[in-house]
Homo-oligomer: A and B are copies of this chain.
Amino acid sequence: MEAKEILKQHQLKRTSCREGIIEVMLKAAHPLSESEIRELLAGNYDRTTFYRSFITLEESRIIHRIVVDQQTVKYALDYSITHKQEHAHFFCQVCHDVKCLEAIPLQEFVLPQGFTKINTDIVIKGTCPNCQQNPNSI
């Protein structure tokens, strides 16, 4: 699907900043940070505009956050757009990339009586194959 259509479906105005962010994410092989998206974006937007675009896109459930730690947040298109299954994410502590672990089936979390589950975030931290082989490529 195209960025334009995604915005229309979610009843958001088609602005170049929003459209650009979605386009970058459609092309991306894995979740990107705000600064990575900013660098891949054609236009040069005010940081407030950029900041508010993420809020809007997240509120409309077009994108979702993957919070690795306080200083590392990545963004990915929502499952409803990618049609992917919910999955765990892998964070490489060397190259700081996040990869989707779609191949790993997730367990069912049966909560104690009275708890209601909305969603589950799973982040596995470690070293990715590339950084294992080339430990000096930081």
| Residues in A lying within 8 Å of B, measured CB to CB | 65, 67-70, 73, 88, 90, 93, 101, 103-104, 106-107, 109-129, 132-133
A111 adjacent to B132 (CB under 8 Å): no
**A2 CB to nearest B CB, Å:** 30
Closest residue on chain B to residue A105 by CB atoms: B107
Indicate if the CB atoms of A110 and B104 lie closer than 8 Å: yes
Copies of this protein, total: 2
Please tell me if the beta carbons of B109 and A124 are within 8 angstroms of each other in the complex.
Answer: yes
Task: List B contacts of A111 (CB < 8 A).
Answer: 90, 101, 104, 124, 126
Distance between Cα atoms of A126 and B114 in the complex (Å):
11
Q: How far is the CA of A38 from the CA of B48 in the complex (A)?
A: 32
**Cβ contact within 8 Å between B107 and A117:** no
| Contact between A106 and B104, CB atoms less than 8 A apart | no
Q: Does B69 contact A93, Cβ atoms closer than 8 Å?
A: no
In the complex, the answer to whether A121 meets B122 with C-beta atoms within 8 Å is: yes
Q: A120 to B129: give the CA distance in the assembly, Å.
A: 17
Contact A116 B106, CB 8 Å, known A69-B67, A121-B122, A122-B122: no
